[in-house]
Every structure is written in C-alpha cells, then in structure tokens.
Structure 1
Amino acid sequence: MYGPFDENILKSSLYHINNLRYLTNSYKFDTLPQQSDLVPNEYEGGFKIWECTEDLLIYSGKLDFKNKSVLDLGCGSGLLGINALMEGAKNICFQDFNHDVMLNFTIPNVWINFFNLYNNVDFANPDFILNEMNDRCNFVYGDWGQIIHMDLIPMKYDYILTSETIYNLDNFTKLHDMFKHYIKSDGKIYIAAKSHYFGVGGSVHLFLKMLTEFKLNKKNNFIYNICYNNDEGIVPRQIIELSIPSIE
C-alpha cells in the first residue's frame, strides 16, 4: 500500500480531531501487535517514539532549517519534521510505511503543532490550518521501493532526517536508494540509529559497510561522518551524517 494523502483525507482527519472523536472512530488500535514493536512488512513501529528520535531532535539544534526543505523519512510521530517546521523550514515531506500511522499519529501531530506555530490564529477554523498544511507539508505513505518506482515524493530536499530505520538488513538498499533519489547535491542526510539491533540484524557498522561497498561499485558517492555518540544505556546510539562531495 502506498500513495500521497489528498485534501479530502486531510479534511477528514481535521474533522475527527476537531470533534474529539478521532482516535475512536478512525482506527481500531486493538489490531496493533501487543507483544512486539514491529511486524515486518505490516507494522514498522510507527506508533512509538524511539530513543534515537530524541537524539536527533537534540542534534538538530545545530542545523539551520530556515527556508530549507526537509524529508522526514520513516516519520512515525513526525517530530523531526515538526521541529524543522518550527525552526523555519519552508516545506516538509512526512513519509511513513503505514497508512494508519500517518492518518492517526503523524497528521494529528502536525495539525496540532500548527496552532503553536501560528499562535492559535483561527483555532475554530480547520480550513485555515488545512491550507497552511497543504502549502508547506506533504504526506506520503508506503514502501520505499514503490515510492521511488512511482515517484510519489515531489522533489529533492536540503535535508533528509531519519531515525531508527536501519534495523532491518533487508531494507538497506531501498533506504540507500531513497537517499540517492531525494537528496539535493548540496544536501545533508542525518540517520539516528542504535549501534546494533539485536534480533533483527541491522547495525551502524553493517549500514556503513554497505555504503562503502556501493561507493566502490560506483552506486553512490556519499561521504559519511559519525557526528554524534550517546553511550548511555545498554546499546550505544549514534548519528550518521551523509553528504555528497562538491565537484571542484
């Protein structure tokens, strides 16, 4: 399942939130897995705010989002994109694997935060918020491979922000291709991740190994840097910065 959200879906979301019936009417949360944070190819943990998202939110204080474009990849709650929006980004694309996460978690969070951004102007008029969201935000859901194939994301971006998206080895190539397809030549990519993901196979080391192998095979020209380390907790966490070297 994949696609953009059109205006009618956004209006439906705003209606339900505004009438305080949203969470009970639009989705049955008891269908989510009760004993697992993810079900591969079905539910990828989008209703949870993960530790690495907090790391990237903190690190984002060093970035200049003013008048920039941002892709929040695997957005879940949308906090990374919302933060960039609050810091002056001109447009944001929110992308998640799950339609239901986008409809029930991402869009409500963005909608509510627009009230803070505009100091509660026209609070009783959801059309005002809808127009602002349509001007500055895109919402896209689905598998990364299908998104690229159908070119569902409308542009290239100054920043790509992503958190906890390298846990599955099977998705490494598709994630790499999203980076390559949607980053501007002078853009920056920030990947917040745990050093190892026990039980699911991914790790920072293996992801960087793939990037190096792809570069040797001329599939990319990314350069990378570990720009943040957090050794608190059982599993260390890191942020990887990717960029494309300028051509002299």
Structure 2
Amino acid sequence: MSFRFNFFMDENEAGDAGRSKQTASQGESQAETARKEKFCRKAAKEHDIPEDLDKILANKAVEAVSGLRYVKLSVVEMEGDDEEGIVSQSVSSHSDLIPGVYEGGLKIWECTFDLIDYISEAEIELTDKAVLDLGCGAGLLGITALKGKAGKVHFQDYNSTVIDKITLPNVAANCGNDDRKTSKPPSKRLKKAEPLPDMLTKCRFFSGEWSEVLQLLLSSSKPFPKYDIILSSETTYNPDYYSALHDTLAQLLEKHGRVYLASKAHYFGVGGGIYLFEKFAEERNVFRTSIVKVIDKGLQRCIMEMAFKHSS
C-alpha cells in the first residue's frame, strides 16, 4: 500500500465564504467569489444503490488489505469519466487535496487503518448500532462496521465521484459472494440480477459538503437515525472546515453516542490537526474529548473519542 501526502493550500482554490470575501476585497471578481463559495458548499445528494452487484463492480479490479476488499485506483483513473473531473485534476496536479474541489477521498489514508485497529483493540460494540462513516473515502471504516454486524451504516464523502467509483464498489465487493476473486473484474456474461445482500440493504450513501448533507438528512422525508457511532478519519486537516464538522457531529450523534476520530497531530501546508480540532471542540463546550491512542511512528497520529458532556 502506497500513500501520497502532498497536502497544500492554494489561495485561489481554498476557503470558506469569509475567506472568499476577503479575497474579493483584494480585487477578485464577485463571480469568482460566488464560484468558490459554490465549491465549498457543494450540494448534497443521496446515491441510489444499483440492484445488480456486478453492475456496481463492472470493470473494477479488486485488491485485498487487512481482510477488506477495495477497488484498484489505477482502474478508476483509467476510466476518466467522472463528471466532477476530480480524477484528472488529482493526477495532473500530483495532489490528493484541492480544497473546495477534491477532498482526498480517492486515496486510503493511514489513519483509517489506525482506527480499524483501534475498533478491534478497544472491542467497540457495533452490533445493531447505527453508524456513520463521515468523510468515508474508500468506506473501509463503514465496511468494518458492517462486518461487525451494525444495524445501519451510512457513508458520506464530499465528492460524488468518490461515492460512485470507490465507496459503493468497495461496499459491494465486501458484501457480495465471498467466492468473488480479487484482482479480476467480474464476468460480463448476462445473468439475472440477484437480490441485494442483507449487508448492503443496511446502507445509504451521501455526497456533498457536511453542512449540506446535514440539511438533506434533517429535511428528508425518509427517516434516519441519530447515529450511535460516528467514525471519521483524516477530517481535521483544514481549520476552515471545523465549524461544519463540529456542527454535523453535534446534530447527528445520538444522545449517548460516541465519535471516534483518527487524525494526524498536524497537517503541514494546510494547518489543521487533531489537537487544534480538540481545542476548537473544547471552546464550543458541547463535547468532552479524550485522546485514547497515540501512534508515534513517523508523524504523530492519534485516535480521539468524543461524547456529549451531558452523557454518562
């Protein structure tokens, strides 16, 4: 497994509405400001699950790591047909982060595996729980919850391309027939579509900026649970997003629920990190936080647990 850590902050791409307005005051056009705000407030949508698993996995080569299956990014890059254009932009810029445009979901980041390990080490009870994989990317945290017999698992990523090309295929690869071979696309022969596996019927998939997804859930005619457990990895890299992240956690977590957040201590070039977000949360005075694991190999990484201050 190889990882690229090419985080950067481009002032012409990044920022929330406040930063956009500041840039506009320095000579940027109102149209450009509106364009950036639109990127940062990417509209939310729910993604339908195709009935045919082979359709989800068509032309996808599948690899395995830590007992989980995931599609090879190289195959997704060769397809090059995503409407957002984030695959080509990521490849051409040699970057896994273009703030407000592409938020890194095409890669599997090392903190994800830290949190998977912690879930096992701490024996976190997942059975029948409602779980949200926030900023899911490849969806491995949510898949871990599914394998732990969670009752419902919802997946969210900023980019719709990530949900369609990475998350949904990964969930399908892990929920389907265990005899499905890795590193080989499924057969293209025509056959009658089989019913969705039970694990997949527990899932819902969302894309969009956190505040927009929150509003979509709160206004939806479909019932949704407050989540017993929210899992999130590598989502504290940009301080501009802390307000939206904190408010989303506060609105969607069940009264006695827990958030498990895996993050690096610091993200060079972007400025965020686990301790900065912990300070932000303390100032909001909604959650109590605790660093429950520290990994000191290379750049320090941490697991933080969050719960409402009024919960026992």
TM score, norm. by length of structure 2: 0.69
Measured on the aligned residues, the alpha-carbon RMSD in Å equals 2.6
Q: For the Cα contact (< 8 Å) 2:176–2:197, is it kept in 1?
A: no
Residue 155 of structure 1 and its aligned partner are, at CA, apart by 2.3
Kindly provide the CA deviation profile for residues 155-184 of structure 1, in whole angstroms up to 9, marking residues without a partner as x.
211100000000000000100011101110
Q: For the Cα contact (< 8 Å) 2:255–2:311, is it kept in 1?
A: no
Q: For the Cα contact (< 8 Å) 1:3–1:147, is it kept in 2?
A: yes
Q: Which residue of 2 aligns with 1:144?
A: 210
Residues 70-85 of structure 1: matches in 2 within 5 Å? 70-85=131-146
Aligned pair partner of 1:32 in 65, 80, 90: 90
Residue 96 of structure 1 and its aligned partner are, at CA, apart by 0.3
Q: Which residue of 1 aligns with 2:281?
A: 211
Matched, 1:4 2:70: no
Aligned pair partner of 1:160 in 222, 225, 230: 230
Distance 1:194 1:225 in 2: 15
Kindly provide the CA deviation profile for residues 185-221 of structure 1, in whole angstroms up to 9, marking residues without a partner as x.
1111001000001110102221111111111xxxx2x
- Contiguous gaps of at least 5 residues in structure 1: none
- Contiguous gaps of at least 5 residues in structure 2: 1-42, 62-74, 181-186
Amino-acid identity (%): 37
Structure 1 or 2, whichever has the larger Rg, is: 2
Distance 1:114 1:239 in 2: 27
Q: For the Cα contact (< 8 Å) 2:57–2:172, is it kept in 1?
A: no
Partner-residue secondary structure (3-state), 1:15: helix
Q: Which residue of 2 aligns with 1:108?
A: 169
Matched, 1:231 2:231: no
May I ask how many residue pairs the two structures share in their alignment? 236
Residue 13 of structure 1 and its aligned partner are, at CA, apart by 7.5
Q: Which has the higher helix share?
A: 1
Amino acid at match of 1:200: V
Q: For the Cα contact (< 8 Å) 1:70–1:84, is it kept in 2?
A: yes
Residues 39-78 of structure 1: matches in 2 within 5 Å? 39-61=98-120, 62-78=123-139
Q: For the Cα contact (< 8 Å) 2:56–2:169, is it kept in 1?
A: no
Residues 116-131 of structure 1: matches in 2 within 5 Å? 126-129=193-196
Distance 1:38 1:89 in 2: 31
Amino acid at match of 2:107: K
Distance 1:41 1:209 in 2: 24
